[in-house]
């Protein structure tokens, strides 16, 4: 359909919608409608150069659409437009499947023909309220489908946000241009599958629409896409934070450097996080005293978050008021008043700066989780999806944990060439087993390895993927030698990768090599002091200390972990074992009672069945400690004490 035709339809719609009463007079009904508009690419040239054959081929194609494709997908032809088709459907998946089959049909017909005579469609889909008189359909929703079609490259289908929502998980196995349609079973899979490729193209400017419209490519991209899409743009997987030098509540010049000192200390700590991009103070200094203008800071520095504050000094005492704002909506998402000493800011391990940085880091993750829980995933930035999924993966709620898989799938669809989302998906499968939400270790291990292999195909040196694969071999396959090999490869690839060191330390702990385990997990915690899953680091660090027979230190770190997350069964197990080893049986039984509240069906045999080191003496020793604390053995098979 040409732009002139679209404009004509728009004017007709405007006249139709001027009066609901007038619409009723001519028998119009307004109802929810799924609209597909398909337009023949380069129709004017084809008709000019090959008029007779092009007209015949198009007429044959229209008959195929009317007689075969639309009935198969519960669609109805509204009208043929000369070089396009307008159809309506009962559901969005039906319309997407019909569009895919139209593309495939033309691709099959193109085989053996000169390229300049190939037929290609561009299609637009929208789900909206529309007017119908029983013959034709009208309305802005129809016009939007037509405008979306103009964004499509040859052989592509573009859908609106409302259509994308109704696709849910999407359609499965949308065939690529050039593939044949196949059997009826294949067509059924095409229609009803759930793993379609839906690519977020972002907000698009469309003619005659006042606001940008969110658009999605359904199915594979054309070799000549009109819009390249958002995937593989190199979109940052970390939000950016600008720390503005803090302002003095006094005009005394001697106090001005304190504001820079606070900012410097916080920037240094936040920069140690791999989850944030931190802007240099040299760039943020110009905004000192202008922190309220979050929008300007965001525009000039590209900041997602802005941290600012003010302070009052009384001798060596300092009172600091901090404020974290989200640039996208200029809202304060966290604020706090903290007291300390000015001299503390001069120390490398400043307690005041550490408290600010840690609170800011956690606040950012909490904000991104809130976005995920309250907003449609396609509307969110990639860093929101990544940070939110990391946080939700460790939440105590099973529903939130399961939701993480869909978030990671969204990231994978957006960034097909990036390893990180697939590596985190591998972690997800491990956690599903270790948290007791799947008993099928073999299946979860296969899924996890599929994810890590796909990540390593994209980046063979990706430390997260290597470390995750090591943990798969450790926890799910109980192959500690291969697990250690993969974790060693991870830290060799990136010596600063905290999770690689953490997993390596845990493998060493299970093998009974306590000193090496303690060294590795301690290094992990030093490399990631602000990790949002600090409880997880401390829990695995306590396991390393347990392996080294440092029972009092293991208890201390386990208790610290439990202050951050009391719903983690592994930490309660470590605490129970460490207390038994210190001959503090009453406290051990109390800790075991907490563990059994979380895992009421746990037995010694069940514990040994899941533990990677069950065949080693250290694993048997830990199992005996749990039995001494009162954990049932199960099936009447006790352990020798």
Predicted local distance difference test score (pLDDT) of residue 181? 41
Query: 620 and 538 share a domain?
Result: yes
- Whether 396 maps to a domain, the answer reads no
Structure token pair of residue 21: 């009463």
DSSP state letters, 6-30:
HHHHHHHHHHHTT-HHHHHHTT-EE
Task: Indicate the pTM of the whole model.
Answer: 0.62
Q: Does 192 have pLDDT greater than 60?
A: no
Of 344, 369, 394, the residue at which a domain comes to its end is 369
- Whether 374 maps to a domain, the answer reads no
pLDDT band at 225 (very low <50, low <70, confident <90, very high): low
Q: Does 603 have pLDDT greater than 50?
A: yes
Predicted local distance difference test score (pLDDT) of residue 86? 93
Predicted local distance difference test score (pLDDT) of residue 321? 94
Query: 188 and 310 share a domain?
Result: no
Structure token pair of residue 491: 């830290």
Of 324, 351, 369, the residue at which a domain comes to its end is 369
> How open is the CA angle 222-228-233, to the nearest 5 degrees?
135
- Whether 326 maps to a domain, the answer reads yes
- Whether 638 maps to a domain, the answer reads no
Structure token pair of residue 235: 């979109």
pLDDT band at 233 (very low <50, low <70, confident <90, very high): very low
Residues 130-143 have pLDDT tens digits of 888 878 888 888 98
Say which DSSP state 475 is in.
I
Query: 96 and 147 share a domain?
Result: yes
Weakest mean pLDDT among 82-91, 290-299, 577-586: 290-299
Weakest mean pLDDT among 49-53, 114-118, 205-209, 561-565: 205-209
What is the CATH number for 334?
Answer: 3.40.50.10070
Cross-strand bridge partners of residue 31: 130
Q: Which of 531, 280, 259, 578 is nearest to 394 (CA)?
A: 531
Predicted local distance difference test score (pLDDT) of residue 173? 37
Query: 457 and 561 share a domain?
Result: yes
What is the CATH number for 132?
Answer: 3.30.70.1230
How far apart are the C-alpha atoms of 69 and 76, rounded to whole Å?
A: 10
Predicted local distance difference test score (pLDDT) of residue 561? 95
How far apart are the C-alpha atoms of 174 and 221, rounded to whole Å?
A: 11
pLDDT band at 338 (very low <50, low <70, confident <90, very high): very high
State the average pLDDT over residues 378-398.
87
H/E stretch holding 77 reads strand 75-80
- Give the 3-state secondary structure of residue 301: helix
How far apart are the C-alpha atoms of 164 and 161, rounded to whole Å?
A: 5
Predicted local distance difference test score (pLDDT) of residue 374? 87
Query: 214 and 330 share a domain?
Result: no
Instruction: Check if the beta carbon of residue 151 is closer than 8 Å to that of residue 226.
Output: yes
CA 47 remoteness from chain centre: 46
Checking phi first, is residue 576 left (phi over 0); if not, alpha (psi -120 to 50) or beta?
alpha
Q: Which residue bears the tokens 């694969």?
A: 469
Query: 363 and 252 share a domain?
Result: yes
Q: Which of 243, 242, 235 is nearest to 260 (CA)?
A: 243
Number of domains in the chain: 3
CA 609 remoteness from chain centre: 32
- β-pair type (305-314, 247-248): parallel
Q: In whole numbers, what is the pLDDT of the chain averaged over residues? A: 84
Predicted local distance difference test score (pLDDT) of residue 254? 55
- Whether 223 maps to a domain, the answer reads no
Q: Does 235 have pLDDT greater than 70?
A: no
Residues 16-65 have pLDDT tens digits of 444 343 444 457 888 889 999 999 998 988 988 999 999 999 999 999 99
Query: 470 and 567 share a domain?
Result: yes
Query: 210 and 253 share a domain?
Result: no
What is the CATH number for 558?
Answer: 1.25.40.10
Of 314, 346, 369, the residue at which a domain comes to its end is 369
How far apart are the C-alpha atoms of 436 and 431, rounded to whole Å?
A: 8
Q: Does 68 have pLDDT greater than 50?
A: yes
Q: Which of 30, 34, 71 is nearest to 157 (CA)?
A: 34
- Whether 357 maps to a domain, the answer reads yes
Comparison of pLDDT for 436 and 197, the residue scoring more: 436
Query: 598 and 451 share a domain?
Result: yes
Predicted local distance difference test score (pLDDT) of residue 26? 54
Q: Does 330 have pLDDT greater than 50?
A: yes
- Whether 637 maps to a domain, the answer reads no
Q: Does 199 have pLDDT greater than 80?
A: no
Structural domain boundaries, residue 54: 3-218
Query: 346 and 451 share a domain?
Result: no
| Burial group, residue 97, by CB count within 10 angstroms (0-12, 13-18, 19+) | buried
Q: What percent of the chain has pLDDT over 70?
A: 85
Which residues 6+ apart lie within 8 Å of 552 measured at CB? 578, 582
Residues 445-498 have pLDDT tens digits of 999 999 999 999 989 999 999 999 999 999 899 999 999 999 999 999 999 999
Query: 250 and 306 share a domain?
Result: yes
Query: 154 and 294 share a domain?
Result: no
- Whether 231 maps to a domain, the answer reads no
How far apart are the C-alpha atoms of 243 and 323, rounded to whole Å?
A: 10
Weakest mean pLDDT among 97-101, 270-274, 577-581: 270-274
Weakest mean pLDDT among 24-33, 410-419, 540-549, 560-569: 24-33
Structure token pair of residue 232: 């593989």
Instruction: Check if the beta carbon of residue 529 is closer than 8 Å to that of residue 269.
Output: yes
Predicted local distance difference test score (pLDDT) of residue 640? 44
Predicted local distance difference test score (pLDDT) of residue 298? 73
């Amino acid at each position: 359909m040409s732009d002139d035709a679209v404009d004509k339809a728009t004017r007709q719609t405007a006249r139709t919608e001027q009066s609901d009463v007038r619409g009723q007079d001519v028998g119009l009904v307004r109802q929810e409608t799924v609209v597909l508009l398909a337009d023949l690419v380069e129709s004017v040239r084809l008709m000019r150069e090959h008029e007779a054959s092009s007209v015949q081929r198009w007429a044959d194609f229209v008959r195929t659409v009317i007689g075969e494709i639309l009935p198969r997908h519960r669609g109805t032809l509204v009208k043929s437009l000369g070089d396009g088709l307008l159809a309506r459907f009962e559901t969005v998946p039906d319309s997407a499947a019909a569009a895919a089959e139209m593309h495939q049909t033309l691709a099959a017909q193109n085989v053996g023909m000169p390229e300049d005579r190939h037929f290609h469609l561009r299609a637009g889909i929208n789900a909206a309220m529309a007017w119908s008189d029983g013959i034709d359909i009208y309305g802005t929703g129809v016009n939007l489908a037509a405008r979306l079609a103009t964004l499509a490259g040859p052989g592509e289908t573009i859908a609106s946000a409302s259509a994308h929502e109704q696709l849910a998980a999407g359609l499965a196995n949308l065939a690529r241009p050039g593939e044949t349609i196949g059997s009826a079973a294949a067509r059924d899979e095409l229609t009803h599958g759930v793993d379609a490729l839906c690519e977020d193209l972002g907000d698009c400017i469309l003619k005659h629409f006042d606001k940008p419209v969110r658009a999605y490519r359904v199915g594979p991209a054309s070799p000549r896409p009109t819009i390249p899409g958002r995937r593989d743009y190199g979109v940052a997987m970390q939000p950016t934070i600008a720390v503005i030098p803090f302002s003095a509540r006094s005009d005394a010049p001697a106090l001005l450097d304190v504001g820079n000192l606070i900012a410097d200390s916080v920037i240094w700590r936040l920069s140690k996080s791999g989850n944030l991009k931190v802007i240099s103070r040299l760039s943020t200094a110009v905004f000192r005293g202008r922190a309220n203008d979050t929008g300007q800071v965001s525009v000039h520095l590209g900041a997602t978050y802005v941290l600012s504050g003010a302070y009052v000094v009384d001798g060596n005492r300092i009172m600091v008021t901090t404020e974290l704002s989200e640039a996208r909506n200029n809202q304060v998402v966290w604020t706090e008043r903290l007291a300390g000493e000015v001299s503390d800011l001069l120390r490398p391990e400043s307690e005041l700066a550490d408290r600010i940085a840690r609170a800011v880091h956690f606040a950012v993750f909490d904000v991104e989780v809130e976005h995920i829980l309250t907003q449609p995933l396609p509307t969110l930035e990639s860093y929101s999806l990544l940070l939110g999924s990391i946080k939700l993966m460790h939440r105590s709620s099973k529903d939130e944990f399961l939701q993480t898989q869909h978030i990671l799938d969204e990231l994978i669809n957006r960034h097909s060439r990036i390893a990180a989302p697939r590596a985190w998906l591998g972690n997800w499968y491990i956690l599903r087993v270790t948290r007791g939400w799947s008993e099928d270790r073999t299946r979860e291990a296969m899924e996890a390895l599929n994810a890590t292999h796909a990540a390593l195909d994209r980046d063979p040196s990706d430390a997260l993927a290597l470390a995750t694969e090591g943990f798969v071999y450790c926890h799910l396959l109980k192959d500690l030698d291969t697990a250690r090999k993969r974790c060693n490869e991870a830290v060799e690839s990136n010596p600063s990768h905290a999770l690689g060191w953490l997993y390596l330390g845990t493998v060493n702990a299970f093998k009974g090599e306590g000193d090496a385990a303690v060294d590795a997990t301690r290094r992990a915690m030093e490399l990631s002091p602000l990790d949002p899953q600090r409880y997880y680091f401390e829990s695995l660090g306590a396991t390393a200390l347990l392996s080294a027979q440092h029972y009092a230190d293991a208890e201390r770190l386990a208790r610290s972990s439990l202050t951050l997350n009391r719903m983690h069964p592994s930490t309660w197990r470590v605490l129970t074992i460490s207390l038994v080893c210190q001959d503090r049986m009453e406290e051990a039984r109390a800790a075991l009672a907490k563990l059994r509240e979380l895992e009421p069906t746990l037995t010694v045999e069940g514990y040994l069945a899941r533990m990677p080191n069950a065949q080693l003496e250290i694993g048997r020793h830990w199992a005996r400690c749990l039995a001494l604390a009162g954990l049932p053995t199960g099936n009447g098979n006790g352990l020798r004490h």
